[in-house]
A = this chain, B = another copy of it.
Amino acid sequence: KSARVSFGSGSKGEEKDRKLIRYLMAHGHETPFEHTVFQFHVKCPIFVARQWFRHRWSSFNEISGRYTVFDEGEFYVPEKKRVKEKVNKQGSEVAAISDEEHAAFRARVEAESQRSVDAYKELLEQGTAKEVARIILPQNMYTEFYWTVNARALMNFLKLRCDVHAQYEIRVYAEAIRDMFFEKMPWTAAAYREIYLGEKEEAATPS
């Protein structure tokens, strides 16, 4: 509807409106997509939140470690050990090791994280201010935030964070966000899949 206002008219039916959406996206006219706004309540590890917050054209409000005590066991432990990727040297891939070895990796991460949390709690008990004690907490602690973002900025987030070069952990979140977005804005999603993902229109909108 915001797109149509540039042409001074109302909707012209599904087929024409979908065509307009595709045209706008293909030619970089992205402002009409800013008028649809999404809001998410996200819980994720701090190192994921750090990547997320780099997306400046959106609004964040995070739970603050200055005022809130972190709960026991509230940290993220990867399912599998990952090693340096062979092809794309900057990423990582699941190590070709036994289940026991993966379990040993998990146990190590869990033990180290728990030790840090224990030390944090001890510091609190000794009267240390929360904003000081939390500095020794690891970056896999969970945090929570509200995220308000328009469809244009959301698509930009998806382009970068669903990408194979994104770290696995944020990619999982981005893919979940993407699925919700595709469900809520199917016409825009179809154009997005066609133009940015190279998928055929037919595949994107099965009857």
Residues of A within 8 A of B (CB): 1-3, 5-8, 27-28, 31-32, 34-35, 37, 39, 41, 45-47, 50, 53-54, 56-57, 59-68, 76, 78, 81-85, 90-93, 95, 105, 108-109, 112-113, 115-116, 119, 123, 126-132, 134-140, 144-146, 148, 150, 159-160, 163, 165, 167
Contacts and interface: CB of A to CB of B under 8 A. Distances in A.
Contacts of A144: 5, 8
Contacts of A41: 5
A67 B137 contact: no
A91 B27 CA distance: 14
Q: Copy number in this complex? A: 4
Contact of A138 (B5, B68, B116): B116
Contacts of A105: 126, 128
A59 B150 contact: yes
Contacts of A90: 66-67
A5 B146 contact: yes
Contacts of A68: 7-8
A32 B5 contact: no
Contact of A27 (B31, B57, B119, B165): B165
A91 to B, nearest CB: 7
Contacts of A116: 112, 116, 136, 138
29 contacts: A2-B61, A2-B146, A6-B63, A8-B67, A28-B160, A28-B163, A31-B60, A34-B59, A34-B148, A35-B39, A37-B148, A47-B134, A50-B50, A54-B60, A56-B57, A59-B150, A78-B132, A81-B128, A83-B127, A83-B128, A92-B132, A108-B123, A112-B119, A115-B115, A116-B136, A131-B167, A134-B139, A136-B140, A148-B150
A76 B130 CA distance: 16
Nearest to A9: B68
Contact of A139 (B5, B46, B53, B163): B46
Of residues A59, A84, A91, A167, which shows the largest number of chain B Cβ atoms within 10 Å of its Cβ? A59
